[in-house]
Amino acid sequence: MIIVRNLSKSFPPDHQILSRLSFQADEGELIALIGGSGSGKTTLFRCLSLKDKWDEGQYIYDGKDISGIGGLEQFKYRKDWAFLEEKPNLNPRKSALKNVLSGLFFHKAWWRILSGTTSSDDHMTAMDYLDKVGLLEKAHEPIEKLSGGEKQRVAVAKALIRGAKVIFADEPVSGLDPEAAMRVLEDLKSICEKDKVIIFCSLHQVELAEKFGSRIWGLSGGRLVVDIAGRRLTHREKELIF
């Protein structure tokens, strides 16, 4: 569970980006974050994944206040989190399988990392995750030969194999055709429900947020102006956000 109280962040000299955000996110929730360009979506994700510092506020993760923790302790928590970006962070020349296996970096023995060897158990686990996102038959294809949606689904499998408990998906379906976008979001939603991970997913299309979000957050000018259970937004709620 994630609890945030009064989180604020500004960029110098005094550009306030996030303003006193408070919320709770529970396991199994897919939180669809919507907001205009520059409303602070990426900055919020960067703060929650400890990539950026914030100025004020309390951040409680799994019952522990991690607001002021330093480098080494941060590393421990970062193992629990994965980032999905618009352009998936994958090696284009390596196969889908090898890319998924690289997600085990945090968990493998040092000699396996140095020698690049993997056990047959690791191999089967990676195949299981590729199966979960419907890409078993593409396991040996190099990433550069996959479509945008397939690449994103490999990135999802890579996040899962590393045991991510929280996934920050920053506009993961921008640039995908509607069918591919639906498939990626269907996978994320099913993983969220079955594996009880928390997924924060920023989206530009309100309809997708309404269809896939178990909750919808609306961010405007760095403020959380809408926080509702997944359903169609009212006209007034849309006006508050955009």
Ligand X SMILES: Nc1ncnc2c1ncn2[C@@H]1O[C@H](COP(=O)(O)OP(=O)(O)OP(=O)(O)O)[C@@H](O)[C@H]1O
**Residue numbers at the binding site for ligand X (CB under 6 A):** 11, 15, 17, 35, 37-43
| Closest approach of ligand X to the CB of residue 38, in Å | 4
* CB nearer to ligand X: pick between 55 and 62: 55
Closer residue to ligand X, CB minimum distance, 100 or 181: 181
Cα maximum dimension of the chain: 58
The nearer residue to ligand X, 135 or 203, going by C-beta atoms, is 203
Nearer to ligand X, 40 or 218 (CB): 40
Task: Return the ∠ at Cα 197 (arms to 191 and 203), rounded to 5°.
Answer: 75
C-beta atoms surrounding 89 within 10 Å: 13
Residues 39 and 219 sit within 8 Å (Cβ to Cβ): yes
C-alpha dihedral sign at 55, 13, 19, 75 = negative
Least CB distance to ligand X at residue 44 (A) = 7
Q: How far is the CB of 230 from ligand X (least distance, A)?
A: 20
Least distance CB 149 / ligand X (angstroms) = 20
Of 215, 219, 218, 159, which is closest to residue 184 (Cα–Cα)?
A: 159
> What CA–CA distance (Å, rounded) separates 130 from 96?
8
Q: How far apart are CA 146 and CA 152, in angstroms?
A: 10
d(CA 129, CA 69): 32
38 or 175: CB nearest ligand X: 38
> Taking the complex as a whole, how short is the minimal distance between the CB of residue 41 and ligand X, in angstroms?
4
